[in-house]
Amino acid sequence: MTLRTKRHSRLLATLATALAAVTACTSGGDGPRPGPSDPPAPTARAGVLRVLAGSELQDLAPVLEDARKATGVTVQFSWTGSVDGADTVSSGRADGKYDAVWFPSNQYLRLDPAGRSKVVSETPVMVSPVAIGVRSSVLGELGWGDGSKVTWAQVGEAAAAGKLPYGMADPSRSNSGFSTLVAVASAFSGAGAALTDADVQKATPQLKEFFKGQKLTSGSSGWLAQAYTRAESGVVGALVNYESVLLSLNRTLPPQQQLTVVRPLDGVVSADYPLSLMSAASADQRDAFQRLTSYLLKEDVQKRISETTLRRPATAGVAPAAGLPSDRRRELPFPGTRQVADGLLAAYQNELRRPSRTVYVLDTSGSMEGSRIAALKSALGRLTGADDTRGVRRFRDREEITLLSFASAVKWTKTHVVPPSGSRPGPEAELASIDADVQSLAASGGTAVYSSLEEAYRVIERQQAAAGDDRFTSIVLMTDGESNAGASDGDFKRFHDALPAAEKRIPVFPIKFGEAAVGQLQGIADLSGGKLFDGTGSLDGVFEEIRGYQ
């Protein structure tokens, strides 16, 4: 059985209290049920503007503190991915829970009539285009000079030839990733107006070549930057992200990892960060919105925003921060309909990107019996659903999935590869087979976390040797307790240190559940270059969130 200690309970209570202080999360009332990925809803309070936003806006904290002093308006953020946030708004799940939304862009939201109707006012606050940050050493090898004359075609050719291995955030989770996907599809197709299905089909051969160069994927820009700093130049030579993120990253990078920001000559897709008022906002919140936006557009505030965030001012006549080029690239066309946008996302997940290989290391010890094992089965079962049109949640076509059930030792491992859509048999039968294995999970025994992780690495080693392929590879560990059998943490560190370089780079994404030992899980994430996730509130949501990292 799992060890449970008062120390873990106190730590969880402390974390919960801290989280509540940041998000002030309470929920209730009638209306659409929350989705698995929805953030907790804050409580309405006088003088507070509740804002559903992209997490990159955390860098505005000092500006918003001054805004509070000047206007009396406190901004209370709930963080979400831009595409997920658009779904939350369009479905009505944001009604009455948020007074405003603040995504990097509203372009995806506007494609849905229901989404458009939920927003009554948009105020662009700052601007940043998607760009490519290239290591100086790689830039020299490519012969691109200072990078000012580079086109998307050149970027694509270098990526396809293996000369520009890069990292990019997942388009289904991150607006920077989605904007990059739209930019390359528009540039490669030569679209002169709104992007169509025909344009996407025309660009598909070049898109496949371009995405051969993607060596890192991530659900967030923050983790992507951390992964870049750990990677050798031969593994990751560039990052695709907002210009502001790349320039901000340079503030912390050592000289050998500095990035030259390349804005392709033929055009970009930019984020204009519109602070947008929800149609359901009360009169008091509308007044607070007006006071805040008026403050943020003042010339001196715009100058400070640019200097703090390295984004460009939205107010005409305000000079950008030092180091930001004064010229702008033309804006590449965006999809003309929601159908085209979702089709492009689905094509990326199932056809264009490199396929993935994931081992799910699942704690089925005795303490998981009852509601916990049921929650695990439900969360993993959702990943086999066929109703996911964008490929945000469902196991992707061509994806290799291994389920590893463990307790005091590994109970069993079962591997599945999802066939491409349109093939015979299609993905449906394999997805159903995965779900059957998930539903067969049974709880009994102790908790051998480290021994089971070692076996996961051995499984991957055998799979890579047999297939000889190049996939996004990761391990997901879900446990509700502390390791109390098999190898120790010291044993696992020695095992990990002895791995070949390529296997050592495989990240582990632990999921904290129940009374899981946070220190052990954080240590595993840190050692492997992964990230710790909290499944205490919703296993459904956290399994979906991890999809952006696979």
Q: What is the pLDDT of residue 36?
A: 53
Decide if 434 is inside a domain.
yes
Structural tokens at position 328: 């702008």
Tens-place pLDDT, residues 55-92 = 889 999 999 999 999 999 999 999 988 888 888 999 99
| Same domain membership, residue 185 and residue 109 | no
| Same domain membership, residue 107 and residue 70 | yes
pLDDT surpassing 60 at residue 308: yes
User: The domain that contains 259 carries what CATH number?
Assistant: 3.40.190.10
CA gap 163, 157 in Å, rounded: 9
CA gap 94, 280 in Å, rounded: 9
Cα→Cα distances 157→150, 177, 212, Å: 11, 19, 10
| Same domain membership, residue 370 and residue 258 | no
Tens-place pLDDT, residues 338-347 = 999 999 999 9
pLDDT band at 1 (very low <50, low <70, confident <90, very high): very low
CA gap 296, 313 in Å, rounded: 10
| Same domain membership, residue 519 and residue 380 | yes
Average pLDDT, the chain: 88
* Coil, strand or helix at 242: strand
pLDDT surpassing 50 at residue 414: yes
Question: How does DSSP assign 14-60, residue by residue?
Answer: HHHHHHHHHH-B---SSSSPPPTTPPPPBPP-TTEEEEEE-GGGGGG
Cα→Cα distances 507→45, 165, 171, 213, 549, Å: 41, 18, 20, 19, 9
Decide if 214 is inside a domain.
yes
Tens-place pLDDT, residues 10-19 = 333 332 333 3
Phi, psi of 241 (to 5 degrees): -165, -175
Decide if 103 is inside a domain.
yes
Decide if 399 is inside a domain.
yes
Decide if 112 is inside a domain.
yes
Residues in contact with 125: Cβ distance below 8 Å, sequence separation at least 6, in sequence order: 272, 273, 274, 275, 293, 296, 297, 305, 314
pLDDT surpassing 70 at residue 226: yes
| Same domain membership, residue 147 and residue 165 | yes
> Which among 247, 282, 313 is the end of a domain?
313
Decide if 120 is inside a domain.
yes
| Same domain membership, residue 122 and residue 242 | no
Helices (H), 297-331: 299-309
Decide if 343 is inside a domain.
no
| Same domain membership, residue 276 and residue 264 | no
| Same domain membership, residue 302 and residue 239 | no
Number of separate domains in the chain: 3
Question: How does DSSP assign 412-464, residue by residue?
Answer: EEEEEEPPPTTSSS-HHHHHHHHHHHHHT----S---HHHHHHHHHHHHHHHH
In terms of residue numbers, what domain contains 80? 22-126+271-313
CA angle 48, 53, 58 (to 5 degrees): 85
CA gap 399, 379 in Å, rounded: 18
| Same domain membership, residue 543 and residue 471 | yes
Tens-place pLDDT, residues 120-150 = 999 999 999 999 999 988 998 999 998 999 9
Q: What is the pLDDT of residue 31?
A: 42
CA gap 403, 179 in Å, rounded: 33
The reported pTM is 0.85
pLDDT surpassing 80 at residue 449: yes
| Same domain membership, residue 393 and residue 437 | yes
Residue with tokens 């019996």: 369
Q: Is the distance from CB of 104 to CB of 175 less than 8 angstroms?
A: yes
CA dihedral in degrees (475, 481, 484, 485; nearest 10)?
-40
| Same domain membership, residue 308 and residue 244 | no
| Same domain membership, residue 398 and residue 306 | no
Average pLDDT over residues 290-297: 97
Helices (H), 145-260: 152-160, 175-189, 197-211, 221-230, 243-250
User: The domain that contains 397 carries what CATH number?
Assistant: 3.40.50.410
Q: Is the distance from CB of 140 to CB of 256 less than 8 angstroms?
A: no
Decide if 479 is inside a domain.
yes
CA gap 92, 83 in Å, rounded: 15
Average pLDDT over residues 475-489: 88
